[in-house]
A = this chain, B = another copy of it.
């Protein structure tokens, strides 16, 4: 159950069509995932969200494409966003993630979950050596 229902034939609206065309061109794929159909109930929300995603995920980059998807998926797991977990795990696979890499990714994410809880429980003081000005 979703909190809104997408209209039929969304691309009759030229502003929606423009966004969808740009998604297809940017991603070099005809597939438009559900997120964009649901956001289309408000044209500004659709345009703003796409612009921001495009800025971050599609511009010249200093990190490789798989690393970017793994960072995205890691945050999504910690925030318990089911849709985002599925979309970014799938995207990581499409960027070449192997089963061995996926298992190692899960090991790191869950180890972080463990030590995050341990450190938040103990409230250990932060080492001055972690200060980037000391490095």
Q: Which A positions have Cβ atoms within 8 angstroms of B? A: 1-5, 31, 33-35, 38-39, 41-42, 44-45, 48-49, 52-53, 55-57, 61-63, 66-68, 70-90, 93-94, 98-127, 129-133, 135
Is B71 a contact of A105 with CB atoms below 8 Å?
Answer: yes
Is B80 a contact of A33 with CB atoms below 8 Å?
Answer: no
Copies of this chain, complex-wide, total: 6
What's the minimum C-beta distance from A118 to chain B, rounded to whole angstroms? Answer: 4
Contact of A42 among B38, B78, B99, B129 (CB under 8 A): B99
What's the minimum C-beta distance from A53 to chain B, rounded to whole angstroms? Answer: 7
Q: Is the interface of A mostly helix, strand, loop or mixed?
A: helix
Contact of A110 among B62, B103, B121, B130 (CB under 8 A): B121
Q: Which 5 A-B pairs have the closest CB atoms?
A: A42-B103, A113-B117, A78-B78, A75-B112, A114-B114
Is A63 a contact of B105 with CB atoms below 8 Å?
Answer: yes
User: With A133-B5, A135-B94 in contact, is A55–B63 under 8 Å at CB?
Assistant: no
